[in-house]
Structure formats: C-alpha cells, structure tokens
Amino acid sequence: MSTAAHAEQDHAHGHAHHDEGFIKKYLWSTDHKMIAMQYLFTGMAMALIGGFTVYAFRMQLAFPGMSVPGYGRVTATDYNALVTTHGSVMIFWVAMPVLIAALGNYLIPLMIGCDDMVFPRLNRLSYQLFLISSIVLIASFYVPGGAFGGAWTSYPPLSAKAEYSLTGLGSSMWLLAVALEFAAFLLGGINFVTTVMNSRAPGMKMFDVPIVVWMIIIASILFMASVGPLIAGAVMLLFDQQIGTGFFDPAKGGDPVLWQHLFWFFGHPEVYVVLLPAMGIVAEIITVFSRKKLFAYKTVLYTAIGTGVLSFFVWAHHQFIAGIDPRMANVFSVTTLLISIPVAEMVFVYIGTLYGGSIRLTTPMLWALSFIAEFLLGGVTGIFLGASGSDIYFHDTYFVIAHFHYTFFPIAFIGSFAAITYWFPKMFGKMMNETWGKVHFWGTIISFNFIFIPLFFLGARGDHRRIYDYRHFPDLMKAGMQDMRILATLALLVLLAFQVVFLVNFFYSLFKGAKAPANPWEANTLEWQAPSPPPHGNFPQGLPNVYRGPYEYSHPDRQADWWPQTEPEPTKS
Amino acid sequence: MSDNAHAPAAPGAEPSNAHGHAAHDDKFYIRIWGILLVLLVVSVIGPELGIRVVTLITAFGIAIVKAYLVLKNFMHIGVEKKYVAYLLITMVALMVLMVGGVGPDVLRHDGHRWSNVAAKKTVEEGLKAGGGHDAHGGEHKAGEKPAEPAPAH
C-alpha cells in the first residue's frame, strides 16, 4: 500500500478512542459506517424529490391541465424539468448513492473484516462532493428558467442551446451536478477496490469474499472504466452551452450523435453498475433465508465479470434510430442479446439456491424473491428493444419506459429495500417491524405492477413518450388509452402512499424498535460477528480470522444450520 | 485504525512488491530521460524525410514507446502490482473499442448537417445486393407485400 494510504490510516486511528462532538461525529466523520449513513439518508431524501416529481408529472398526464394538489398547474416547461429531474435523481442521486456508496461503505470493511476503508479522508471527501452535487441540482430549480428540461440523457442540440431547452443556466447546473457526482463516485470506487485488495481479514482468500462485496467491486471498476468519456463529453457540452463551441452542433460542423455515443458508452455499463450490487444483495439474502449454500459461487462471480465486460459492447442499442451507421446496429443487436445470457445465468443460480432450501419468508427475503421475479420481466422485455428491428417500432414509446422501470425499480428500490430491511439490525441495533414490513412490501409490489403493465400495452399501441398533453394527439387518445394512463397514475399514488408505511416503520424502529442481537438472521458473514451496531473500529474483540467461505449453511456434519466464517474448525480428539 | 492493513498480507492476497523497488537512484531516471530525449530527436527527424511509412512509424510508433517508458518508470507502473497494469491495459482496450464503435458515425461523416451520406449509400447497396426493394420506393405491384427493410435479422 502506498505511503498516502498509511498516512490516512494513522490519521483515522487517532479518532477511535475519544468522544467526538456532534459535527465531528455525524457531519465530518471518517468512519465508513457514518459516511454510509450520510449517503443512505441523502439518497432517501433525494428519493422523496424523485417521488414528488413523478407524482406531479404523472398527474398531468392522467388529468391534463388540472391543478395538481401540492404542486399547482404543471406547465409544459415544468413538465420537462420534472421528467428530467425524476430520471436524473432516481438514477444518479438515489440508486447509486444507496446501492453502491451507502452499502459499499457500510458493508465492505465489515464483510472483509477490517476496521475502516484504507482512505478514510478520501471517503469523507467523496460524500462531501456528492452532497455539493445534490445541492447544485436542487438549486437549479430556483434559477431563472428553472431546472434543466432536456431529459436525463441530455441529448444535444436540445441541451446545447438555451433557446431550445429554455433552461440556459439550469442545463449547465445539471451538467455541473452530474460531473461532481461522478467525481464523488470515482473517489469512492478507488477506495472500495483498494480496501478489498489490501485489507481483507487474515485467512480470507479471494473466493471467501461475499458475493455482494465482489459485485460492488466489479461495479466500481465498471464505473471507473466507463465514466471518462462522459465527463469529457459533459465538459464539451458545457462549452457548447456557455462559450459557443460546436462539438455537438451540426450548424457548426459538430455532430449530436457523438454525444449519444459518449453518453451511452457510460450509460449502458451504468445499468450494470447498479444492477450488480443489487444482484449481490439478493445473493446474500437468499442464501441466509433458504439456509443453503449459494448454488454456484464461482459461476456467479465469473458471470458477473462476463456481464461487466459485455456491458461495454452494447451501448449503441440506445441509438438504433438516431441515425447511426446501420451496420453497427447489427453488431450491437447481437451483443445486446448476448448479454442476456450471463444475467439469465445468475438468475438460474439463484433459483438453484432456493431449490430445496428451508425458506424463511422474512421481509428481506420477500424483497429478494420479488427482485428475481420482477427483474426477469424487465430482462425479457429488453429483448424486444435490443433487437434493432423491433426497436424501430418500440423506440420512444411507453414500452421503453415500462421495460426500463421493470429493470430499474427492482434494482434501485426492491434491491435497496431488501438491503435496508436485511442490514437494518446491524446498522442501527434495532429490529424493524416485520408486519409493517410485509404490508409495505405487498402494497409496493402490487401497485408497482399496476403502474407499469398498462404502460407496456400503451407502448405496444404506439403511445409516444415525451408528450406533455395527449389531448393534442387524437391518435393517442383512442379507446382506453387515457384510461390506462389514469390507472397507472392511480397505482403510482398507491405506491407512493405505501412508502409512508416504510418511512414510519424505518424511523419508529430506529428509535423504538426491539433491540437487535448481533446475529438475528443466523448468518455466516463477518459483519454479523460484530456487535449491533458496530462501534468505531468495528470489531472490539479484535479483528476476526476467517476459516471458510461465506455460504456454509446446513452443513451435513453440523447440528446448527449455519457456520460463521470466523468459527475455527473443531479440534478432532 | 487498520492494524490489519499494516500486517502482512492476508493469505490469498497478492504479494506486494511495491516497497522493494520504490527507490531508484537519480542515475536511473536521468538514463530514462536520456532515452526519451533521443527518441524525441528521432521522432522529429523521421517525418522530415517525407516518406509516409517512416513518418507514421517515427511519429506514432515512437510516441507509444515514449508513453510506455514514462508510464513504466516515471509513473511507477513497473513496480506496482500486476493488476494495476492489467487495469491500465483494459482502459486502453476500452478506448480503442469506443473509438471503433463511434468512428463509423462521426469520423467518416461525408454528409452535411444531419445526413450521413456514406451510411445511406451502404444501405442502398446492401438492399440492391440482397434483392430487397429499392430504397427509393419503386412501384410495388398491387397486392404484393413490400419486403421489410433490411436491418437486424
């Protein structure tokens, strides 16, 4: 490890043994768990913004022209800003901070048995940059012209000129926020990879590392490898906006398709950047609650790496009708269909793990199972869009939106709920209420399907997205189409209402929940050998030694159906 | 924190060779600098000869060698763990991939404004070669269903 890393560690070492004030403890901490909490709570707050924006614009679509309770009348410019903010926030400020930053920070040191990240101050800087990026994004709502309205993909020429997007300053602030956010995650990613490479507990070999840690590492590497072109592209777009260059402006000899390439070269690996951690979370949960060894540890690992590699070869499937060279469309169709193989393999492995297990249907397990089912639907509908022939029809319809949400909702929300309900006892030392957890689960899952199944049908009927008021398009107001929009919107209201149940359960349990034992789920991995919640330094009894892999459940030679990684082999007499 | 991070690497962790080689003496760096200087002279003189192949080799070939020397010796990749080098090679491969994928759309863009003439021409040729209907919508006989456009089968 480098000298800098040692210096960081020495610095952090000093904090372990004295009381800290509120600011030092909660706002300026270098403790990986506290930084994870900062990311988690910021991500949850941003999810409220993402939820509110979708509420406002879906109400406009279902009941055009009405004054939306709590928002007022949604103008066309508002609509653009709301849709853009919803997409950007949910992906960049909710899915990524919660799944990668919060869980990565929380779980990596605990699961590999060390006391903190190797670069604690870099870690703190990462969150601070992320916080600034969130503030810049929110502030863009209050500048002249309002928040950016050029969609979360920010395609030029719409995004490149204030006269087109009507949100001159908002566009630049959006770009700045995104760039800051990426810088934050670059710092986090470096930290994750270095920590796992250098600080594993004695005895923990590469194949003893829990799958979720592997997934976060692979995702971090994917992110770091793909984000460069987009940061460069963002600077070019900023120049186009602010100093009149023409990188993406055809009138000046630029090419708008170039932005699409730069964006999607990052944007498609990004899907796997958030998918893989969610897949890892599901692997941890289904092994614990089916009391079975993970069906094929190395297969999951290698398919995850394979998925990561392939994810760099599929980006142009977003651009089949953007005027790209049609010869490339053929190539990208094939690679896109290929990537479904490793992902399907992971799903098969999970089903194989469940098969014959002693399944405990706890709340986290319900979330994990629903992830597999719902994500499968998202994956299968992706085949229609990956094949360029059918995509020509489906492109820019609600079919795409439905497909996208059948992949991203399971990733960002089902995955996060699974993780939060599973690790809550460890994070806060309290148990969440199971009954209310299940009420929240069923309310969310049922309403989620009622939102997006109608959108598949709407899309198949040619319902174009990016329309503010369908009354101007009689072809899209034919029998039943508006009814389906209303159904989807009402289901959204139900889904949002059920999130109140989650928030109440979360905060009630946080303060008044039953005290959690160190290992309430009888799990093997190292974090459950630390106290709940773990103190600064994680393992007060001394850093653990590791004797076996993380998934030794229901071992035939043992009476107990779990076998912690830290428990030495019994001595034979 | 991190007592274990200072401890010897865990079994299974890659052995670190980072510390053993860290200190090269000044002579070593001056020698590398000398080599770079010589290469610079060659890369300046080469293109002056005006022979296309020599220009390419001396301009781009030597630039690659120089980049390699700088990375290996001045940026210490030579003494880092192997996976760092592999990561860097992966990044270069990804760069090639991206340029390769984007190139057909933006590098040889023979058209004006939004029209990619080169791609359109290729499609027309492909349709003719494949026996599809011609791209300009030639008359179809009554009742005859026009063939689907070509992409993606």
CB contact under 8 A, A199 and B104: no
The model's confidence at residue B134, banded by pLDDT at 50, 70 and 90, is very low
Express each pLDDT in A441-457 by its tens digit: 999 999 999 999 999 99
What is the rounded distance in angstroms from the CA atom of residue B116 to the CA atom of residue B127? 17
Q: How many whole angstroms separate alpha carbon A254 and alpha carbon A245?
A: 9
The partner residues of A464 in beta bridges, in order of sequence, read A397
The mean pLDDT value of chain A amounts to: 92
Q: How many domains does chain A divide into? A: 1
Helix and strand totals (H; E) in chain A: 18, 2
Residues of B in contact with A109 (CB under 8 A): none
A381: pLDDT strictly greater than 60: yes
Give the residue-averaged pLDDT of A199-204. Answer: 94
| Residue of A205, A206, A225 lying closest to B91 (CB–CB) | A225
Q: Which residues contact B63 (CB under 8 A, 6 or more apart)?
A: B43
Q: Would you say A213 and B79 are in contact if contact means Cβ atoms under 8 Å apart? A: no
* Alpha-carbon span A291 to B141, nearest angstrom: 67
A204 has a chain B CB within 8 A of its CB? yes
- pLDDT score of A42: 97
Place of tokens 């991070």: B5
Q: What is the mean pLDDT of residues A166-173?
A: 89
3-state SS of A137-197 is HHHHHHCCCCCCCCCCCCCCCCCCCHHHHCCHHHHHHHHHHHHHHHHHHHHHHHHHHHHHH
Residue A157: cis peptide before it, omega within 30 degrees of 0: yes
Average pLDDT over residues A289-314: 95
CB A19 within 8 A of CB A92: no
Q: Do B151 and A328 touch (CB under 8 A)?
A: no
Query: Which of the two residues, A329 and A359, has the higher pLDDT score?
Result: A359
pLDDT confidence bin for A543, thresholds 50/70/90: very high
Residues of A in contact with B107 (CB under 8 A): none
- Look up the ipTM and state it: 0.70
Using DSSP's 3-state secondary structure scheme, residue A72 falls into: strand
A249 touches chain B (CB under 8 A): no
Q: How confident is the model at residue A572 (pLDDT cuts 50, 70, 90)?
A: low
Here the tokens at position B21 are: 């080689």
Q: Which chain A residue shows the shortest CA-CA distance from B98?
A: A265
Residue A410: give the domain boundaries: 29-529
Kindly list the residues from chain B whose CB atom is less than 8 angstroms away from the CB atom of residue A259: none
- A9-18, A159-168, B42-51, B81-90: least confident range: A9-18
A12 vs B: CB within 8 A: yes
For chain B, say whether A258 makes contact (Cβ under 8 Å): yes
Q: Provide the 8-state DSSP code for B59.
A: I
Indicate whether A567 belongs to any domain: no
Task: For residue A201, list chain B residues with Cβ-Cβ distance below 8 A.
Answer: 4, 10
Does residue A548 lie in a domain region? no
Cα(A505)–Cα(A230) distance, integer angstroms: 39
Please indicate if any CB of chain A lies within 8 Å of the CB of B22: no
In residues, how long is chain B? 153
Other beta carbons less than 10 A from residue A251's beta carbon: 9
Is residue A246 a part of any domain in this protein? yes
Q: pLDDT at position B140, please?
A: 42
Smallest CA–CA distance, residue A33 to chain B, in Å, is 14
Chain B residues with CB under 8 Å of A389 CB are 148, 151-153
Please answer yes or no on whether A323 and B114 come within 8 Å at the CB atom.
Answer: yes
| Cα distance between the two ends of chain A | 42
**Residue burial A476-508, b: 16+ Cβ < 10 Å; e: rest:** beeeebbebbebbbebbeebbebbebbeebbee
- Cα A204 from Cα A214, distance rounded (Å): 13
Indicate which CATH number applies to the domain containing A466.
Answer: 1.20.210.10
Scan for tokens 């209050």, then name that residue.
A142
Hey, is the C-beta of A445 within 8 angstroms of any chain B C-beta?
A: no
Is A565 within the bounds of a domain? no
Q: Please give the residue of chain A at the shortest CA–CA distance from B95.
A: A229
Query: For chain A, what is the radius of gyration of the CA atoms?
Result: 24
Chain A residues near residue B98 by CB distance under 8 angstroms: 229, 261, 265
Tell me the backbone φ, ψ of residue A529, rounded to 5 degrees. -90, -10
Residue-wise pLDDT tens digits, A405-443? 999 999 999 999 999 999 999 999 999 999 999 999 999
Contacts of A251 in chain B (CB under 8 A): 113
Q: Is A111 on the interface with B (CB under 8 A)?
A: no
- Spatial neighbors of B68 by CB under 8 A, at least 6 apart, are none
Residue pair A155/A204 in contact (Cβ under 8 Å)? The answer is: no
Q: Distance (Å, rounded) from C-alpha A325 to C-alpha A323? A: 7
**Chain B environment of A225 (Cβ under 8 Å):** 90-91, 94
DSSP B49-62: T--HHHHHIIIIIH
pLDDT digits (tens, 9 = 90+) for A31-76: 999 999 999 999 999 999 999 999 999 999 999 999 999 999 999 9
The answer, yes or no, to whether residue B122 has pLDDT greater than 80, is: no
Residue A281 structure tokens = 């979370």
Cβ pair A265:B101 closer than 8 A: yes
pLDDT of residue A471: 93
Predicted confidence (pLDDT) at residue A12 exceeds the cutoff of 50: no
pLDDT at B107: 67
Per DSSP, helices labelled H in A292-362 are 297-310, 326-354
Is the previous residue joined to B104 through a cis bond, with omega within 30 degrees of 0?
A: no
Kindly state whether residue A97 falls inside one of the protein's structural domains.
yes
A8 lies in some domain: no
